[in-house]
């Protein structure tokens, strides 16, 4: 039996040659590792690149694709360029199935000779719905078309699938397979936990609750003057106020003394993130809009106690009061109280961390999730 060959079409991937990457890229990287462990071949097709290029590294075929720029036709011409590449790879028996994310419905204009799968990581329409703000009609139309045209539909969480199905009025169903992480990479070879250290990592943006976090930390600081908040992630503009920096907005919301105990490190390389998570006493994620955040699972794998948002997808990751606390981000006092509890109660902190790692291993490890994806891909191509 020949190897199953999977290609991922994506605007991002965490690699020095490719550029910055967010959650979609990290999710694809982790799944790729799991697929390689299960004797599959993996190709990454990254569009929006500075040049056309191919390279092979760590068992993965990388195809960098430069977008074609012609006013009014750039998207369509780039899609046709990608379509030609995918169909060429399929003809050469280098690809059996292609997976693309739902974001902006980029795959809607690509017709492939092999099955094309669309996975929900959270579309623009989905996030606008959760943020209660208008979506560009063009994006909504293209995202719906991409979902309607796909051979198969995946979602990283049941919540994201249900909300997406409702807002697009889709008749089709989604298979839910969560994101995965490399448990071995996030191993526990040394424990350098620093006391009273609260860590948030992810983009500094309103939808992730970053305008609530200063209010939460102010309450924490009132009860624990030694508490320190560490923020890691790139700064982002605020779509509602038009401010070019969420970090600048946050600084105005901290109490003067509390702000002295806040450290913003900016974005750091993925390879350095592990040590930063290890340093934390508690990880916090007061987010309003996610699909299934990899960052939460990484903190769980590092045996960290977590206080996170209780919205939608959250219960598919964390079991409240077993491997973390779930609180609504607007409930600043309660959110802060849970953080203080985990800073001061070492036994509870340790217990939550141990249970969190167990959950990460049993539900989100590479091999378990990769096997679920392989079964799904094979069903789409009647693979034998």
The predicted structure's pLDDT at residue 189: 63
Strands 282-285 and 262-264: unpaired
pLDDT in tens, 122-142: 999 999 999 888 999 999 999
Residues 307-362: tens digit of each pLDDT:
999 999 999 999 999 999 999 999 999 999 999 999 999 999 999 999 999 999 99
Residue 270 lies in a domain: yes
* Residue 59 within any structural domain of the chain: yes
369 and 350 share one domain: no
CA 76 – CA 331 distance, rounded (Å): 45
The answer to whether residue 262 scores a pLDDT higher than 60 is: yes
Token pair for residue 210? 């970053």
Sequence-distant (6+) residues with CB within 8 A of 183 are: 301, 360, 361, 365, 366
What is the rounded CA–CA span in Å between residue 59 and residue 38? Answer: 12
E-only strand ranges, 143-214: 152-155, 175-176, 197-201
- pLDDT category of residue 384 using cuts at 50, 70 and 90: very low
The verdict on residue 189 lying in a domain is: no
Report, as an integer, the average pLDDT of 254-260: 97
* Angle made by CA atoms 146, 147, 150, in degrees to the nearest 5: 80
Q: For position 191, what pLDDT does the model report?
A: 65
Q: Which residues of 9-31 are buried (b: 16+ CB within 10 A; e: fewer)?
A: bbbbbbbeebbebbbbbbbbbbb
35 neighbors 96 (Cβ within 8 angstroms):
no
pLDDT digits (tens, 9 = 90+) for 148-197: 999 999 999 999 999 999 999 999 999 999 999 999 888 776 667 789 99
Give the Cα separation of 302 and 189 in Å (integer).
10
| Residues 145 and 211 occupy one common structural domain | no
| Tokens standing for residue 382 | 């009647």
pLDDT at residue 67 in the model: 95
CATH number at residue 77: 3.40.50.2000
Alpha carbons within 13 A on the beta-carbon side of 346: 3
Q: In this structure, is residue 185 part of a structural domain?
A: no
Residue 165 shares a structural domain with residue 245: no
Please tell me the predicted confidence (pLDDT) of residue 224: 97
| 11-63: pLDDT as tens digits | 999 998 998 788 899 899 999 999 999 999 999 999 999 999 999 999 999 99
CB atoms within 10 A of CB 295: 25
Instruction: Give the Cβ contact number of residue 108 at 10 Å.
Output: 21
Q: Who has greater pLDDT, 251 or 184?
A: 251
Tens digits of residue pLDDT in 67-117: 999 998 999 999 999 999 999 999 999 999 999 999 999 999 999 999 999
What is the domain range of residue 152? 5-180+365-381
Q: In DSSP terms, which residues pair with 230 in a beta bridge?
A: 199, 263
Number of compact structural domains in the chain: 2
Q: Which residues, in sequence order, are CB contacts of 294 under 8 Å at separation 6+?
A: 23, 26, 27, 30, 179, 181
Same domain, 356 and 369: no
Strand boundaries in 17-59, DSSP class E:
41-49, 53-57
- Rounded Cα distance, 170 and 3, in Å: 33
On whether both 25 and 169 belong to a single domain, the answer is: yes
pLDDT tens profile 270-314: 778 899 999 999 999 999 999 999 999 999 999 999 999 999 999
Residue 191 resides in a domain: no
Give phi and psi for 264, each to the nearest 5: -105, 115
Nearest partner of 236 among 55, 34, 20, judged by Cα: 20
Nearest to 181 by CA among 23, 3, 21, 340: 23
Residue 190 placed within a domain: no
Q: Match 């939808």 to its residue by tokens.
A: 207
Residues 285, 262 share a domain? yes
């Amino acid at each position: 039996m020949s190897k199953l060959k999977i290609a991922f079409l994506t605007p991002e991937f965490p690699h020095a040659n490719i550029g910055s990457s967010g959650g979609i890229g990290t999710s694809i990287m982790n799944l790729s590792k799991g697929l390689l462990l299960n004797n599959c071949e993996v190709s990454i097709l990254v569009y929006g690149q500075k040049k056309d290029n191919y390279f092979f590294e760590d068992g993965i075929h990388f195809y960098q694709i430069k977008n074609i720029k012609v006013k009014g036709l750039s998207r369509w011409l780039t899609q046709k360029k990608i379509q030609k590449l995918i169909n060429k790879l399929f003809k050469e028996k280098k690809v059996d199935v292609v997976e693309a994310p739902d974001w902006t419905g980029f795959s809607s204009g690509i017709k492939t000779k092999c099955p094309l799968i669309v996975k929900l990581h959270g579309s623009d329409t989905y996030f606008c719905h959760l943020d209660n703000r208008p979506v560009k009609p063009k994006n909504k139309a293209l995202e719906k078309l991409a979902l309607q045209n796909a051979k198969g539909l995946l979602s990283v969480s049941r919540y994201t699938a249900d909300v997406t199905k409702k807002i697009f009025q889709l008749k089709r169903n989604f298979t839910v397979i969560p994101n995965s992480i490399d448990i071995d990479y996030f191993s526990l070879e040394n424990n350098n936990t620093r006391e009273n250290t609260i860590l948030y990592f992810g983009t500094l943006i309103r939808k992730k609750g970053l305008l609530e976090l200063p209010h939460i930390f102010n309450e924490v600081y009132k009860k624990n003057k030694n508490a320190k908040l560490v923020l890691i992630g790139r700064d982002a503009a605020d779509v509602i106020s038009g401010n070019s920096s969420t970090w600048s907005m946050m600084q105005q919301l901290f109490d003067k003394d509390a702000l002295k105990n806040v450290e913003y490190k900016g974005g750091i390389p993925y390879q350095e993130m592990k040590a930063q998570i290890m340093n934390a006493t508690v990880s916090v994620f007061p987010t309003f809009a996610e699909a299934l955040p990899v960052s939460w699972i990484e903190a769980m794998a590092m045996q960290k106690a977590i206080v996170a948002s209780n919205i939608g997808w959250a219960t598919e990751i964390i079991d409240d009061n077993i491997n973390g606390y779930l609180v609504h981000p607007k409930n600043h006092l309660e959110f802060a109280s849970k953080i203080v509890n985990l800073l001061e109660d070492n036994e509870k902190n340790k217990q939550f961390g141990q249970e969190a790692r167990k959950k990460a291993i049993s539900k989100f490890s590479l091999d378990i999730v990769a096997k679920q994806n392989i079964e799904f891909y094979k069903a789409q191509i009647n693979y034998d």
